[in-house]
Amino acid sequence: MFAEVVFALPFRKSFTYEIPSELKKFVKEGVRVVAPFGKRTLTGFVIQVTKTTNVKESIKPIREVLDDDPIFNKTNLKFYEWLSEYYLCSLGEALKLLVPHGTEVESKRKIAIDKNYIVQLLQREQKKNTLRYKILSELSTREQITFASLQKAVGKKNIYSQIRALVEEGAVSVIEEIEGAKVKPKKLKYVRLSKDVKEIYSSLPELDRKSPKQVKLLLILIEAKGKSLPVAELLHKTETSKAALDSLAKKGFVEIFEKEVDRRYKEHYEEQHQEFILTEQQKKVLEEITPKIQQSVFQTYLLHGVTGSGKTQVYIELAKIALEQNKSVLILVPEISLTPQITSRFYNNFGELVTVLHSRMSAGERFDSWRRIHKGKSRIVVGARSALFAPLNDPGIIVVDEEHDAGYKQQDMIPKYNARDSAVVFGSIHNCPVVLGSATPSVESRYNAEIGKYKLLTLPLRIDNATLPKITLVNINAERKKRRMDNIFSRTLLDKIEDRLNKKEGVIILQNRRGFSTQIFCEDCGEIEMCSNCSVPMVFHINKNTIQCHYCGLEKSVPAVCSNCGSINIKYFGTGTERVEDELQFYFPQANISRIDSDSITKKSYLSNLLLSFGKGEIDILVGTQMVSKGLDFSRVTLVGVISAETTLWLPDFRADERTFQLLIQVAGRAGRSKIAGEVIIQTQNEKHFALQKVLQNDYEGFYKREIEDRERMAYPPFTRLVLIETKDKSDMKAKGAAIDFRKALKKYEKHLKISEPTTALIYKLKGFYRYHILIKSSRKTDPSGKLLRKAILEAFSEFNRLSRYRDVKLFYDIDPQSIM
Ligand code: ADP
Ligand code: ZN
Ligand code: ZN
């Protein structure tokens, strides 16, 4: 028997292995196996098992099987095949999304060191600035090191010839060491009684004389009525040593054993469970979707519901219906740790059936969550982007909440998938309806509804007849002339805040920039303090008193003089959340102010606790980045202030207007969600801008109509499909050369595709790498599925690989990019 195996490597083919007879029972389609690959040992996925093979070369045997049960079936495989084809990665790279991090078995090449000998060699070296010297001194401190760590330590990739020389000298040897899974089921020691309680009682008097501690332990175990107790907890509670317990075990009173424990992520945030009578508009939506769940029919719905229209409750009702059909449920939300409210509502309704999946969980918690889903114990998954790859059995409904959110796009790793778009394909493969929900649908989804690809459902009214908040635009320039600006605040906004503080109502203030000042500028020479790794300005953080790069994380002390001319005339520009918080505290010294941004919510329970306090009225004002615009549902919020609408408006991106419109409507939607009306003050220098005018009129349809015309005129999505090709390298010349060569390889497709010339990326240097971009547009009319586009890229890539002398430069494809910076 033979197995076809794919690996999470950039090879677009499978490899044939022999199945040794002792593994015959265990190797099936859909399990992971450990197999030799070149000089290494890797974890791969079995996609097929066959009786014969045409492969002539020597076939190696599989070493080990990792899964008892398959983790994917034929239907799942179709989805991963689609992912790999559409996003141009290998099938193995796509399947890797399916498994929890840290569970693979892999060999690592290591250097085993004869330390004494290396020290001798080191002493013999005359020159101290050679690569050999650096390598020797690094090796002299240890017994073993991986190639990767050594490369990092000496700051050079090309260390192989040096190592080969050392191997010949007999100072080191290269070994292959297999590393097992880093994440494993967690096991704890438990103890239970192993004798009859009566019998134990009769021995107590004698025991009590010699070892009263042991009696104490027994009494607690008797109290537990036959239940086992975790050993560590028992010893801690009784302040006894392990020896006492061991002695009881030896005498046969108790039995100590190992038991697997379930690691569950718990959110601090909790709400009271509420039962609702559904509104007419909620009922109508459910009547439409319910039969599709019951009959397993694929259909994509765009649920356009204004903020506070009760979308979450619709999701909960849909989940109930899917469960009745014995199906499972997937609810995708933008980065979930930001929305403890929605998870809390699902826990309240479905208890243990719910599990969450997101990046703030520990690897162990994610692993246990994954296994509960795989075994069918957790049938409702509420999770961020990557939860789309949870091993759900028989999905009945898929919801993508806040479908417009850019966070659904994976930007950093391969494949660069969009979870919203992939969820639609997932639904079509599994015959299940997909609901995309939003108060501000993306232009693409709204267009898909217009042309009938999706079905549009609406919730036009807020719950409880709450009205949408009254929005006012405050022109900063005009106010400044009237002397009605106090630094970053207009008098209008300050007066409103004061009014709400007096009434004990909640206030949310948005400024979509973190830090204190976003630019440090020299008045004498005009120099802006830039990051040395990236072509972006450094941001001043007052709390840590440092300047930081928000792209690579570089942190430096605050410069006393200009780094270009030495002048002390340094000015700080641009307002971040820290400054807003600081100034608010100055104007309202009595108010309780908290900040939500990625700097402040580093601790696990910080956000939950903060939201609890805000809900109770212990916090008066929440200041934050776009994080405060997402999903928060607090009836006491009656005022939302936006310090500056410009933070997104002038981004050099064709979606800048859309992002601005969405952000402002979403944050406005946090106000006035109950009987007390809400109000929104937006400060801006671009009052007349159409996106802001549409926000002012609360006119989504008007915004969409104008935006879709622009998109058509400019040939942007949804009328074209975009691909961004990026080359990056530590050498500017090589990155540029690769981009030019790749562009040449694309030349023969110019008839069908619109291909830009290579340009420097908007962020030209990032984390020390120079970047060049080529933007390709493919018309939906002539290439509806994008097949031609993908073929062009793959063929250009293989030509580039054959001909270019820059073929070792890193090259990325981003299909349907969310940002072209
Ligand atoms: P959205 O997600 O559309 O912004 P939510 O789902 O947060 O809105 O709902 C707004 C508020 O209305 C929530 O506090 C929710 O508990 C409440 N709610 C939802 N449905 C009903 C209903 N049928 N009757 C009364 N209150 C409801
Ligand atoms: Zn200067
Ligand atoms: Zn940087």
pLDDT at 298 over 80: yes
Q: Crossing angle, helix 311-324 and helix 280-294, to 10 degrees? A: 30
Cβ proximity of 558 and 540 under 8 Å: yes
pLDDT at 103 over 80: no
Looking at residue 338, its pLDDT comes to: 64
Spell out the alpha helix ranges (H) of 303-358: 311-324, 340-350
The model's confidence at residue 212, banded by pLDDT at 50, 70 and 90, is: confident
Looking at residue 305, its pLDDT comes to: 95
pLDDT per position as a tens digit, 214-224? 888 888 888 88
**What CA–CA distance (Å, rounded) separates 359 from 384?**
8
SS3 124: helix
Name residue 120's amino acid: Q
Query: Looking at the DSSP assignment, which residues form a beta bridge with residue 475?
Result: 684
Within a 10 A sphere around the Cβ of 5, how many other Cβ atoms? 23
SS3 320: helix
Sign (positive or negative) of CA dihedral 564, 568, 571, 577: positive
Query: Looking at the DSSP assignment, which residues form a beta bridge with residue 811?
Result: 727
**What CA–CA distance (Å, rounded) separates 656 from 658?**
5
Would you say the CB of residue 276 lies under 6 angstroms from ligand 1? yes
Quick one: which ligand is closest to 532's CA?
3
Looking at residue 218, its pLDDT comes to: 86
Tell the residue number behind the tokens 């974890």, with chain if given: 43
Cβ proximity of 144 and 112 under 8 Å: yes
Contacts 24+ apart (CB under 8 A), 800-804: 800/738, 800/741, 800/742, 800/745, 803/741, 803/745, 804/737, 804/738, 804/741, 804/742, 804/745
pLDDT, average across residues 185-206: 85
| Local structure of residue 701 (DSSP, 8 states) | H
226: left (phi over 0), alpha (psi -120 to 50) or beta: left
Sign (positive or negative) of CA dihedral 248, 250, 252, 254: positive
The model's confidence at residue 650, banded by pLDDT at 50, 70 and 90, is: confident
The model's confidence at residue 330, banded by pLDDT at 50, 70 and 90, is: very high
Q: Tell me the CA distances in angstroms from 582 to 545, 556, 558, 587, one per residue in order.
A: 14, 22, 18, 9
pLDDT per position as a tens digit, 481-520? 999 999 999 999 999 999 999 999 999 999 999 999 998 9
The model's confidence at residue 640, banded by pLDDT at 50, 70 and 90, is: very high
SS3 409: strand
pLDDT at 574 over 80: yes
Q: Tell me the CA distances in angstroms from 367 to 181, 262, 338, 374, one per residue in order.
A: 11, 10, 21, 10
Closest C-alpha to ligand 1, atom 15: 310
Who wins on pLDDT, 158 or 327? Answer: 327
* % the chain with pLDDT above 90: 68
Cβ proximity of 308 and 463 under 8 Å: yes
**What CA–CA distance (Å, rounded) separates 714 from 696?**
26
Cβ proximity of 567 and 583 under 8 Å: no
pLDDT per position as a tens digit, 223-253? 888 788 899 888 888 888 888 889 888 988 8
pLDDT at 819 over 90: no
Quick one: which ligand is closest to 525's CA?
2
* Token output for 199: 């019998």
Would you say the CB of residue 349 lies under 6 angstroms from ligand 1? no
The candidate with the shortest Cα–Cα distance to 20, out of 53, 67, 63, is 63
pLDDT per position as a tens digit, 413-455? 999 999 999 999 999 999 999 999 999 999 999 999 999 999 9
Closest C-alpha to ligand 1, atom 20: 310
Phi, psi dihedrals of residue 384, rounded to the nearest 5°: -80, 180
pLDDT per position as a tens digit, 352-377? 999 999 888 888 999 999 999 999 99
The candidate with the shortest Cα–Cα distance to 579, out of 636, 612, 540, is 540
Quick one: which ligand is closest to 565's CA?
2
Looking at residue 337, its pLDDT comes to: 59
SS3 595: strand
**What CA–CA distance (Å, rounded) separates 705 from 40?**
56
Least confident of 87-96, 550-559, 648-657: 648-657
Closest C-alpha to ligand 1, atom 2: 311
The candidate with the shortest Cα–Cα distance to 652, out of 762, 519, 766, is 762
Q: Beta strands 593-596 and 621-624: pairing type? A: parallel
The shares of helix, strand and coil residues in the chain, as percent rounded to the nearest 5, are 40, 25, 40
SS3 334: coil
Would you say the CB of residue 463 lies under 6 angstroms from ligand 1? yes
The model's confidence at residue 336, banded by pLDDT at 50, 70 and 90, is: low
pLDDT, average across residues 36-52: 92
Q: Beta strands 434-438 and 300-305: pairing type? A: parallel
SS3 741: helix
Q: Beta strands 229-230 and 810-815: pairing type? A: unpaired
| Local structure of residue 467 (DSSP, 8 states) | P
* % the chain with pLDDT above 70: 100
SS3 651: coil
**C-alpha distance across the termini of the chain, in Å:** 50
Cβ proximity of 323 and 351 under 8 Å: no
Closest C-alpha to ligand 1, atom 23: 278
pLDDT per position as a tens digit, 699-733? 999 999 999 999 999 999 999 999 999 999 999 99
The model's confidence at residue 281, banded by pLDDT at 50, 70 and 90, is: very high
**What CA–CA distance (Å, rounded) separates 628 from 619?**
14
Would you say the CB of residue 339 lies under 6 angstroms from ligand 1? no
Sign (positive or negative) of CA dihedral 652, 658, 661, 665: negative
Closest ligand 1 atom number to CA of residue 277: 23
Testing ligand 1's pocket by substitution, the residue of 313, 404, 630, 635 carrying the most ligand atoms inside 8 A of its CB is: 313
**What CA–CA distance (Å, rounded) separates 335 from 343?**
12
CA angle 362-363-364, nearest 5°?
A: 90
Looking at residue 128, its pLDDT comes to: 85
* Token output for 293: 């769940």
Q: Tell me the CA distances in angstroms from 295 to 398, 424, 432, one per residue in order.
A: 15, 18, 9
Closest C-alpha to ligand 1, atom 4: 308
Looking at residue 216, its pLDDT comes to: 86
pLDDT, average across residues 379-398: 95
Within a 10 A sphere around the Cβ of 586, how many other Cβ atoms? 10
Whether cis (ω within 30° of 0) applies to the bond prior to 415 is: yes
pLDDT per position as a tens digit, 467-488? 889 999 999 999 999 999 999 9
Closest C-alpha to ligand 1, atom 19: 310
* Token output for 564: 């270009």
CA angle 688-692-696, nearest 5°?
A: 105
Expressed in angstroms and rounded, the spacing between residue 565 Cα and the centre of ligand 2 is 4
Cβ proximity of 253 and 278 under 8 Å: no
Query: Looking at the DSSP assignment, which residues form a beta bridge with residue 35?
Result: 42
Cβ proximity of 331 and 383 under 8 Å: yes
Query: Who's near 117: CB < 8 A, 6+ residues apart?
Result: 170, 171
Residue 45 CA neighbour count, 13 Å, CB half: 26
Cβ proximity of 491 and 479 under 8 Å: yes
Looking at residue 584, its pLDDT comes to: 96
**What CA–CA distance (Å, rounded) separates 679 from 672?**
7
Residue 85 CA neighbour count, 13 Å, CB half: 11
Looking at residue 202, its pLDDT comes to: 83
Would you say the CB of residue 437 lies under 6 angstroms from ligand 1? no
Phi, psi dihedrals of residue 276, rounded to the nearest 5°: -125, 150
* Token output for 454: 């999706």
Average pLDDT, the chain: 92
Exposed, middle or buried: residue 664 (CB in 10 Å: 0-12, 13-18, 19+)?
Answer: buried
Phi, psi dihedrals of residue 704, rounded to the nearest 5°: -60, -45
Looking at residue 270, its pLDDT comes to: 85
Looking at residue 91, its pLDDT comes to: 97
Quick one: which ligand is closest to 767's CA?
3
pLDDT at 333 over 80: yes
SS3 688: coil
pLDDT per position as a tens digit, 580-630? 999 999 999 999 999 998 888 877 778 888 999 999 999 999 999 998 888
**What CA–CA distance (Å, rounded) separates 410 from 713?**
28
Q: Beta strands 229-230 and 186-193: pairing type? A: antiparallel
Expressed in angstroms and rounded, the spacing between residue 819 Cα and the centre of ligand 3 is 18
pLDDT, average across residues 800-816: 94
**What CA–CA distance (Å, rounded) separates 243 from 247?**
6
pLDDT, average across residues 57-66: 91
Quick one: which ligand is closest to 271's CA?
1
Closest C-alpha to ligand 1, atom 14: 633
Least confident of 28-42, 199-213, 465-479: 199-213
**What CA–CA distance (Å, rounded) separates 630 from 335?**
10
Provide the CA 743 distance to its chain's centre, in angstroms. 32
pLDDT, average across residues 65-86: 94
DSSP letter for each residue of 539-571: EEETTTTEEE-TTT--EEEPPSS-TTT--S-EE
